[in-house]
Amino acid sequence: MPYYLCIKKDKRMKYGMMICGTIGAGYDWWSGTYGTRSKDVKAYLDAHPDEEVDIAVSSPGGYVDEGLTIYQLIKDHGHVNVHIMGMTASIATVLCMGAKHVDMSVGSTMLIHNASTGVAVWESANKQKLDELIKQWQKQRDDLDTIDKVIASVYAKRSGKTSEEMLKQMGKENWLSPEQALELGLVDEIRDLDDEDKKRQTNLAKRFTNAFCSNLGLPPLPGATADDEPLKHFSRRLPPHSEICSRIIHKFLT
């Protein structure tokens, strides 16, 4: 199992595992990258049953079922410290809630939001067909409502807030700074990196996002510097804009 290093107050931290990419995906054909599956996390935790372990998390999210399974695996282990970095979102933030201790580094962001699913109908429909679709979509809506409540209960258990408060926060669907996440009780500590590390981590997150935005024809984030050559390979491997849109509606992300 590979490990990852970063600076923590003049000490080099050894991560036993890094949860990254799409949660629940082995090889992600959409982005051309590898994700993290629950069986990957289980294999690592089973190999270190009675040890204090450090897991880094930097993921845009993925499949709800896999994320909730990883949450429970981490919780059941009982000796996991999670370190949130980069831009971590969706179900990737939920799985962090099972850790013994959660910190979030300066220069990172966290996104919590309501669950969603793909909806697409490419056909004409009479009133009977529309009634069927409405019934189908109502069921999907009810399922999403249940999933939202389950996720809110996980956030609430960690933060000490009520599920209703967390549902309201999820409905805002906005990025949280480390300070905001700490205030909400979602993390226990803000990890203070040195000045060079802060600059490097913030810049890397912007460069990664800009490589993605460029492919979509969106404006870049301001302030990203340094050579972007390592990210050009990533950008070239992304599908064209139209193909991305068609794929997004078939992915169940939270």
Torsion over CA: 58, 63, 64, 70 (sign): negative
Boundaries of domain holding 114:
4-248
Q: What is the pLDDT of residues 196-216, one digit of tens each?
A: 655 655 565 555 555 555 555
pTM score: 0.71
Residue 71 lies in a domain: yes
Residue 254 lies in a domain: no
Q: What is the pLDDT of residues 144-180, one digit of tens each?
A: 999 999 999 999 999 999 999 999 999 999 999 999 9
User: Tell me, what's the pLDDT at 123?
Assistant: 82
Residue 217 lies in a domain: yes
Which residue(s) pair with 175 in the sheet?
Answer: 111
The count of domains in the chain is 1
Residue 253 lies in a domain: no
Residue 110 lies in a domain: yes
Please, which residues have CB within 8 angstroms of residue 158's CB and are 6 or more apart in sequence?
97, 102, 185, 186
**Banded pLDDT at 8 (limits 50, 70, 90):** very low
User: Tell me, what's the pLDDT at 118?
Assistant: 82
Q: What is the pLDDT of residues 111-123, one digit of tens each?
A: 999 998 888 778 8
Residue 115 lies in a domain: yes
State the average pLDDT for the chain. Answer: 80
CA distances from 45 to 14, 18, 52, 85 (A): 15, 12, 10, 21
Between 2 and 173, where is the model more confident?
Answer: 173
The CATH number given to whatever domain includes residue 68 is 3.90.226.10
User: Tell me, what's the pLDDT at 14?
Assistant: 80
- Answer yes or no: are the C-beta atoms of 151 and 61 closer than 8 Å: no
Residue 52 lies in a domain: yes
Q: What is the pLDDT of residues 66-116, one digit of tens each?
A: 999 999 999 999 999 999 999 999 999 999 999 999 999 999 999 999 998
